[in-house]
């Protein structure tokens, strides 16, 4: 994990390696990945620790925002 510390005690724009994960949609397992990395725009150090140690992480499509549809 790279670390760009924010003066307010958070971090910005860093890559977090989550390690091997199962890839699931709903309750169906579609496959596995040897390593998953994600870019985190902004988080506190506590939030990053929760992310790295979580057994399950959900990706939710944002509807009506600036994301791609």
List, in sequence order, every residue forming a beta bridge with 19; answer none if it has no partner.
36
Which string of DSSP letters, residue by residue, matches 24-69? EETTEEEEEEEEEEEEEEEEEHHHHHHHHH-S-----PPSSSSS--
Stretch 36-46: mean pLDDT, rounded? 93
Stronger pLDDT, 1 or 26, i.e. the higher one: 26
Q: How confident is the model at residue 6 (pLDDT cuts 50, 70, 90)?
A: low
Among 9, 21, 8, 13, smallest CA distance to 52 is for 21
At 1, is the pLDDT very low, low, confident or very high (cuts 50, 70, 90)? very low
**How high is the pLDDT of residue 55?**
92
Indicate the average pLDDT of the chain: 84
């Amino acid at each position: 994990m790279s670390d760009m510390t924010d003066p307010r005690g958070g971090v910005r724009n860093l890559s977090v390696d989550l390690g091997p994960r199962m890839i699931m949609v709903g309750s169906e397992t579609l496959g596995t990945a040897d390593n998953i990395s994600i870019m985190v725009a902004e988080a506190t150090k506590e939030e990053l620790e929760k992310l790295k140690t979580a057994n399950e992480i959900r990706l939710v499509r944002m509807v009506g925002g600036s994301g791609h549809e």
